[in-house]
Amino acid sequence: MMHHMATDLAVKTRDIVIAAVLSVLGIGLMVLNVADPAVGGNASIFAVPTFLVVTAPLVWRRAAPTTALAATFAALLAHVALFGSMTRCGVIFPAVFILVFANAAFLHLRPALLGLALALALVVVTSVTDRQIAIVDAPLFCGLSAAFWGIGRLVRSRSRLVDALDVQTDELRSARDERARLEVATDRARLSVELEGLLQRRLGELARIVDAAPSDGNPRAATASLAEIERQGRHTLEQLRAVVGVLRNEPGDAPTAPPPTLTHLDAMLVRVKGADARLTVEGNPRALPAGVELSAYRIVEHLLGALDDRRDVDVRVRFAGDALELTITGSSRRGSRGAIERARERTRLHHGSLKATVRDGRIEAVALLPVATAS
């Protein structure tokens, strides 16, 4: 049996409440029987408390529906054998309907059919022994019992369908998470292709600076050349750190297509959230290091995955002097923690930070990526 159904097969507070209500009602009707000679005849007062044995099994209508129905049937037979016609259909029949519904809703077909047979037998015995109804009414109550059994089977079928849909939803989310991880790996592999070109280009620039340095022994000119070499060297190290931080050593050919940048955000928003999604760019847009551009794009992509399918999405990109700030707001979906953690992992690659808050069903995430400025 599926997880959703299994969680229902336990005694719960409402089961105890149902059993208590029918027990109180049954005792009240039994007291009326004892007090009314025309109904109860020479009724025994001891029949009143013992009637609880008939209604008590309702407590286990979920945990053991067939056993509860069999116990109610046995208790009814014993009650009739001891005290004669002392039952009231106002209690017995509702109890039968509840128990036969539980048998159909929580059990497989074979035990559910056994529960239906017990319920029909119990209805017939009640109709024969209760002075308040006639035997000709038995088919009506048998039909009602069968109807409740059928409703229970429909409920079971719907619950199984819901469980299957939940499983498929979990599988789709797992597949989406796996796809996101593969995209990160692909991006890292793509960046490895660019690493060699970056090294060659930067080393060539340093070599040209050295060649252009004056050779007349001027200390001031030599100092300026060394300072320029140092500045270019630091800039090269920063770019290498950004690229190496997201590399992954995996076999296979790396894709040669260029990685996405912030200029692709608008198209990605339309593709993922539709034309109603809003993108705002503030500050002074400029070219950023390749690793920062790629990670900023992926951070927005991951955070969009934390939002549900509603279109009220706002994305704000702010170019500050030494940082890039990304703000994403929208309606949060269930299970958004994984997407947020993937975005946070991206920010950590660049020694940045990410703060995500959820309030009234809406999520606001702010990612801050440091951007080194040239001297």
CA distance 137 to 132: 11
Would residue 90 be called left, alpha or beta, if left means φ above 0 and alpha means ψ between -120 and 50 degrees? alpha
What CATH number does domain 262-370 carry, 3.30.565.10, 3.40.50.300, 3.10.20.30, 3.40.50.720? 3.30.565.10
Token readout for 309 is 């399918």
Task: Check residues 173 and 225 and name the one with the higher pLDDT.
Answer: 173
Question: Has residue 2 got a pLDDT over 50?
Answer: no
- Other CB atoms within 10 A of residue 301 CB: 22
Query: Is the pTM of the predicted complex or chain greater than 0.75?
Result: no
pLDDT of amino acid 7: 43
CB under 8 Å to 3, separation ≥6 — which residues?
163
Taking only Cα atoms into account, the Rg of the chain, rounded to an integer number of angstroms, comes to 37
Would you list the domain boundaries of the chain? 3-167, 179-244, 262-370
CA distance 89 to 73: 14
Residue 192 Cα distances to 180, 240, 291, angstroms: 19, 11, 11
What does the pLDDT look like over 9-54, one tens digit per residue?
677 888 888 888 888 887 777 777 666 655 554 556 666 777 777 8
Please compute the mean of the pLDDT values over residues 324-343 and round it to a whole number.
88
What does the pLDDT look like over 48-92, one tens digit per residue?
777 777 888 888 888 888 888 888 888 888 877 777 655 555 688
Question: Has residue 248 got a pLDDT over 50?
Answer: no
Question: Has residue 165 got a pLDDT over 80?
Answer: yes
Please compute the mean of the pLDDT values over residues 191-209 and round it to a whole number.
70
Secondary structure, 3-state, the chain: CCHHHHCCCCCCHHHHHHHHHHHHHHHHHHHHHHHCHHHHCCCCCCHHHHCHHHHHHHHHCCCCHHHHHHHHHHHHHHHHHHHCCCCCHHHHHHHHHHHHHHHHHHCCHHHHHHHHHHHHHHHHHHHHHCCCCCHHHHHHHHHHHHHHHHHHHHHHHHHHHHHHHHHHHHHHHHHHHHHHHHHHHHHHHHHHHHHHHHHHHHHHHHHHHHHHCCCCCCHHHHHHHHHHHHHHHHHHHHHHHHHHCCCCCCCCCCCCCCCCCHHHHHHHHHHHHCCCCEEEEEECCCCCCHHHHHHHHHHHHHHHCCECCCCCCEEEEEECCCEEEEEEEEEECCCCHHHHHHHHHHHHHCCCEEEEEEECCEEEEEEEEECCCCC
Task: Check residues 91 and 197 and name the one with the higher pLDDT.
Answer: 91
Please compute the mean of the pLDDT values over residues 171-177 and round it to a whole number.
82
Question: Has residue 251 got a pLDDT over 70?
Answer: no
CA distance 338 to 146: 47
pLDDT of amino acid 135: 64
